[in-house]
Amino acid sequence: MAHDKARFAYDGLDRTIHEKARLGILTSLMAHPRGLAFNDLAGLCSLTNGNLSRHLLVLGEAGLVSVDKSYKNNRPHTQVLLTEAGRQRFLDYLSVLEQVLKDAEHAAGTADSAARLKPV
Amino acid sequence: MAHDKARFAYDGLDRTIHEKARLGILTSLMAHPRGLAFNDLAGLCSLTNGNLSRHLLVLGEAGLVSVDKSYKNNRPHTQVLLTEAGRQRFLDYLSVLEQVLKDAEHAAGTADSAARLKPV
């Protein structure tokens, strides 16, 4: 059987973005162009403060998010934003993800048809 | 701002399946209901034999794939198949992935509109 070499390698699935928790963080930030307070982001993604900090460090080092510390009503406030580069890389990632879904759903459909063709 | 708690937690993104290489392996197998020879699968996913073996061990232990060793033309032959449980769990995973994509694309669209509304 001949196969397209590396047909299902999905090199574009950037591991920095693909990690489950980080995928949630980036989607949250994409939905909030003015950024999110650290605590709101933790709640939306169901992450502990420690876990969120750890993932923001990874995303920050990759230049995907910025973390701005300031004061709001005399209390420390941390605001997290998607950078423009982060937005672009996330959109690129999403187009690969869309291809994965298309491939898998096409495959599932094909497998269904094959099953239906089998004699009972 | 009020937020839906855990709106972007995506608990259904099963880590056993979500890992990039394993996502490729499962999509390949979904596309080949009669299974794939180990070497063909390695080629399709652009994985070394060692890496493929390692991932198949994880997927096999989770009951998602079966690895059948036999002889073909007097030479050892390894055939990899998606199990029925694996197929079902992969389909469940895909429906969560579809939700992630929908959320992110909706968010991207919203952000675009917000940007357009900003005074230049």
Q: Is the pLDDT of residue A46 over 80?
A: yes
Which chain A residues touch B107 with a CB distance below 8 Å? 27, 30-32
Q: Is the pLDDT of residue A117 over 90?
A: no
Query: The domain at B15-117 falls in which architecture?
Result: Orthogonal Bundle (1.10)
ipTM of the prediction: 0.82
User: How many angstroms separate the CA atoms of B58 and A22, rounded?
Assistant: 22
DSSP string, B39-92: HHHHHHHT--HHHHHHHHHHHHHTTSEEEEEEEETTEEEEEEEE-HHHHHHHHH
Q: What is residue A1's predicted lDDT score, i.e. its pLDDT?
A: 45
What residue ranges do the domains of chain A occupy? 15-117
Q: What is residue A94's predicted lDDT score, i.e. its pLDDT?
A: 94
Task: Dump pLDDT digits (tens) for B44-86.
Answer: 999 999 999 999 999 999 999 999 999 989 999 999 999 999 9
Which chain B residues touch A31 with a CB distance below 8 Å? 8, 103, 106-107, 110-111
Q: Least CB-CB distance to A23: which of B31, B100, B105?
A: B100
Which chain B residues touch A98 with a CB distance below 8 Å? 101
